[in-house]
Structure 1
Amino acid sequence: MEIEVDLGGVSQMKIAALYDIHGNLPALNAVLNELEEVKPDLIVVGGDIVSGPMPKQTMERLFAHADPVRCIRGNGDREVVMAFDGQPLPAALSEKGRQKTQWVAQQLTPSQRDFLCELPATATLHVEGLGDVLFCHATPYSDEEIFTPITPQERIVTIFAGIREKMVVCGHTHMQFERQAGSLRIVNAGSVGMPFADQPGAYWLLISPAGYEFRRTAYDLETAAKEIRASGDPQGDEFAEGNVLKVPTAGEATQFLEGMAAKN
């Protein structure tokens, strides 16, 4: 079941960063199919892999993928492991979030739980032309801290203080954007499975010595919605309607997330 690989010595690499899949297997399949043409040297899965309608199948699909994959941990992965182990879930989780987390944990096998439990919080890879690139879920020091395209610059500088890499790739807020903190480039890869964007699809990031590129993969939304509704997820109808057929815009999500950040 081990799919983490060490390519630390390889610098001339093409990396596909897939973040926040959230158990959306049809979206993941669409991206992996596109990657057969892109041919990255490595796929980095940036956390929140399973918290959605098809968690077990999503992990099986990643395990079965022929190309090298490296995974890091998201807050959703951490919370699912807590639920699997019977530990109290974070107080900040809504009742709906608790129900979803408990349901997801019940779908996983013990070996899948162990895989999620052992994931590192970050990974650093060297890419020629870009330098060292740090991959984290939310921020380098937290898997749940929120920042957005409109977060005040002084807070961005504080969040990323002390980072020595040249570039940080993150996710968690499900929207593609970039920020700068001094010479540090900060890039949000967006979300494969639950995007906040102007149109539905699966969003991800392609990194190479030539730079980085925001990518969107279109897929059959109606067929995906049918699969999700048939998944057994008690919240599957809501997921299909609100995260596949239609998605929140980045503008709407930004205002909501900034409100959340202000409360913390």
Structure 2
Amino acid sequence: MRIALFSDIHANLPALEACFKSIEAQMPDAIYCLGDLVGYNIWPNEVINEIRKRCIPTIAGNYDQGIGLLSDECGCAYKTDVERDMGKISIAYTNTLVRPDERRYLRTLPAHIKLEFQLNNDKLNLLLVHGSPRKINEYLFEDRNEKSLLRIMEQADADILCFGHTHKPYHRVLPTAPTETPRYRHAINTGSVGKPKDNNPKGCYVMLTINAESSISNKHAIQVDFVRFEYDVEKAAKAIEESPLPDAYAEMLRKGF
């Protein structure tokens, strides 16, 4: 089974359209969205409805949760007062844009999606979250302590944990404590479709392949491909500059940070 996983569109319609074009060319067996459809750009309703009309199973991101609840807080961990002030402008502006029906959709998105595979006498659990299994806005960065990340996955009973939120893609294979039968868990950050932060302005999503031979005792049991795609960055950046949103968000798109 080939599964396309994407997240963190953040109201960037040109990026989402290019993402769908790329995904359709890959012909996956299933598609899932890991949240944060809105915020930081001008097309929240359009992004929501592009996903809805394709009937893509979607979980709530922290920004979706904030807007769904008509809150002035998105649960983002801003590092400076300047970032916090820009964030307040973004969520306030997004709240003025999102229509009642689209807001209801955001408010009813599930917190996670869990899929259980039965392969080779193994049970293989795939868990989709936005931030972490513990908290919608917890950041699981690539340099997270291995014991901490493994504990989070064990507590959630996740053999494969897929998430977004940091906007920085990675795949880590985590061996469990030594036993007679080895066991491996996979932590996968899907990156960001519409607001990359890894110094690459191209959008990103994941193609996850689970095959008939996949096993929790094989560290190479699954295939994880990070797909980067080009989109009209300048169109998305200029849309920001022509809106009440801070111009700094446009420059972030251009530079991928």
Residues of 2 paired with 1:126 and 1:25: CA distance? 32
Cα deviation per residue 1:213-252 (whole Å; 9 max; x = unaligned)?
111111232233334434x3x2263222112x1112xxxx
Match of 1:246 among 222, 247, 255: 255
**Residue 109 of structure 2 is aligned to residue 119 of structure 1:** yes
SS of structure 2 residue aligned to 1:99: helix
In the TM superposition, structure 1's runs of 4+ consecutive aligned residues that sit over 6 Å from their partners are 90-93
TM-score by length of 1: 0.78
- Of the structure 1 ranges 21-30 and 176-185, higher mean CA displacement relative to structure 2 is found in 176-185
- Of the structure 1 ranges 234-243 and 20-29, higher mean CA displacement relative to structure 2 is found in 234-243
Residues of 2 paired with 1:52 and 1:89: CA distance? 13
CA RMSD of the aligned region, Å? 2.3
Residues of 1 paired with 2:233 and 2:160: CA distance? 33
When residues 39 and 126 of structure 1 are mapped into structure 2, their CA distance, relative to the original with a 3 A threshold, is farther
CA contact (8 A) 1:80 1:102 kept: no
Residue matched to 2:9: 21
Residue matched to 1:150: 143
- Of the structure 1 ranges 36-45 and 125-134, higher mean CA displacement relative to structure 2 is found in 125-134
When residues 237 and 220 of structure 1 are mapped into structure 2, their CA distance, relative to the original with a 3 A threshold, is same
CA contact (8 A) 2:163 2:188 kept: yes
Match of 1:226 among 238, 241, 254: 238
Residues of 2 paired with 1:189 and 1:48: CA distance? 12
Residue matched to 1:106: 96
Residues of 2 paired with 1:88 and 1:229: CA distance? 22
Cα deviation per residue 1:61-90 (whole Å; 9 max; x = unaligned)?
22233xx410001111111123x2xx5637
Instruction: Note the 1:74-223 alignment, pairs <5 A.
Output: 74-82=61-69, 84=70, 87=71, 89=73, 94-126=84-116, 131-181=124-174, 182=176, 183-210=184-211, 211-223=223-235
Cα deviation per residue 1:180-209 (whole Å; 9 max; x = unaligned)?
442221110001011122421111101122
Rg larger in 1 or in 2? 2
Residue matched to 2:218: none
Unaligned runs of 5+ in 2: 79-83, 177-183, 212-222
Cα deviation per residue 1:143-202 (whole Å; 9 max; x = unaligned)?
111221212223223333323232010111001112244222111000101112242111
Aligned residues: 228
CA contact (8 A) 2:34 2:128 kept: yes
